[in-house]
């Protein structure tokens, strides 16, 4: 039972990191007006975190830890 809470916690933390990285990119866009590479770096981190989250969800689904639900044909 502890494993499921740990998986949910990791998913929520990665989602929060994605949103935080997007916020950092927005601040850098406003502050530097696009003349710096810090915004690009923040967006690159966001893409990397999103890919990591997707890979973790797919791996969890194949391992049986994450069970998709919804309309089943």
pTM: 0.79
DSSP character string of 2-49: HHHHHHHHHHHHHHHHHHHHHHHHHHHHHHHTT-SSHHHHHHHHHHHH
User: So what's the pLDDT on residue 19?
Assistant: 94
Extents of the domains making up the chain: 22-63
Residue 52: the pLDDT is 92
pLDDT tens digits for 3-46?
A: 678 888 888 999 999 999 999 988 888 888 767 788 888 889 99
CA angle 54–9–2, rounded 5-degree value:
115
pLDDT in tens, 53-63: 999 888 888 88
């Amino acid at each position: 039972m502890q494993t499921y809470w740990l998986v949910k916690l990791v998913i929520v933390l990665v989602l929060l990191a994605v949103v935080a990285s997007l916020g950092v990119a927005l601040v850098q866009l406003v502050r530097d007006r696009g003349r710096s590479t810090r915004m690009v770096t923040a967006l690159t981190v966001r893409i990397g975190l999103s890919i990591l989250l997707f890979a973790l969800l797919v791996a969890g689904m194949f391992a049986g830890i994450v069970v998709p639900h919804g309309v089943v044909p």
